[in-house]
Amino acid sequence: MTSAKGPLSGLKIVELAGIGPAPYCAMLLADLGADVLRIDRAQNVAAGAPDQPPLDLLNRSRRSVGVDLKHPEGVETVLRLAEFADVLIEGFRPGVMERLGLGPEVCRARNPRLVYGRMTGWGQTGPLAPVAGHDINYIALSGALHAIGRRGEAPVPPLNLVGDFGGGAMFLALGVLAALFERGRSGQGQVVDAAMTDGSASLMTIIWELLHMGFWRDERGVNLLDTGAHFYDVFETGDGKYVSIGSIEPQFYQLLLRHTGLEGESLPGQFDRAAWPAMKERVAAVIRTKTRDEWCRIMEGTDVCFAPVLSLREAPEHPHNQARRTFVEVAGVLQPGPAPRFDRTPGAIQRPPAHPGQHTDEALADWGFAAGEIARLRELKAIV
């Protein structure tokens, strides 16, 4: 099922299996054509039918090799793979890879061109570097969590999108690709230190801009983009569902007033902040007079900046998502498809998620291990 398609075709990546953002980063790169080998620990390898892939979608598009990282020959196997690789990705706490004998100095001594991508919450340095944490903690420290929520209410964790995936995996992918670009000039690899705290802080740059310009108050639910404005929020419809409205620009706001029937009323100015709470109630009352589908017939496809709030089950059925194949089915499992799009070298889900260790012999052979070496490693139980 492996495809040569994708702009990263020919790129070889070793991924030390983990959870959350590091696997997602590897998934993104694999969807774009990179040959990613996931190193699963031997104790996680169990029999699994190849025609019944697991449902851990973050592990799609790549093969799995089962390695005993406590066995010297297992560690040597990973070092051999690093010699052949362009990139290594790991998501452990600082110091873990060094204790395994797989730290960046050791790996890059074998392969000076290796780009070594490290994914953590707090970063490789700093007083919190060795401490446990999760997305909610990292975005709390960066200031992002404080800004998300309604007026007078507690901050609302935005799932784990801002830290793990936006501030973490995306920045690691960006860093890896930037390091590869630089390697094309210098011939040298380097370490990429991607921290979710740093990345989520970077995602807040526009909010810092507005704060310095005096357009943002350092409190929740009173600003342009945080549900403070009556023209940028979600509203409940008459059937208990929701629609989203983002009519920021004056011309779009006029369309909102027209389509809600408020155009003829004597209303305060759009950016009269003192009037926003009352206008919020007025718009909410109007939106509750119709069902979500009725508002879709009125506003969807116009420049109001409108969309229905769809559930996870509903989103794949929307005509726009279907037209773009935003969601695809692989091995009977519906899931988000690769992004972004490329016109000459489109990405693709290369294969469904692999069972840990499913491709050990096949993948090692493809990466340059002789059949006798593989048999010896298996006999030593360094690989499984």
* Locus of tokens 């589908």: 293
What pairs with residue 187 in β-bridges?
none
Sheet with 306-308: strands ordered across: 232-236, 242-246, 306-308
Give CA–CA dist 60/15, Å, rounded: 13
Catalytic residue among 56, 71, 134, 146: 134
Q: Which residues of 325-360 are buried (b: 16+ CB within 10 A; e: fewer)?
A: eebeebeeeeeebbeeeeeeeebbbbbbbbbbbbbb
* Locus of tokens 């945080």: 226
The question of whether 212 is a catalytic residue gets the answer no
345: which DSSP letter? S
Give CA–CA dist 362/27, Å, rounded: 20
The question of whether 355 is a catalytic residue gets the answer no
Q: What is the maximum span of the chain, computed from C-alpha positions, in angstroms?
A: 84
Dihedral through CA 73, CA 79, CA 82, CA 84, nearest 10?
Answer: -70
Give CA–CA dist 35/359, Å, rounded: 13
Catalytic residue among 31, 68, 164, 193: 164
**Where in the sequence numbering do the catalytic residues fall?**
134, 164
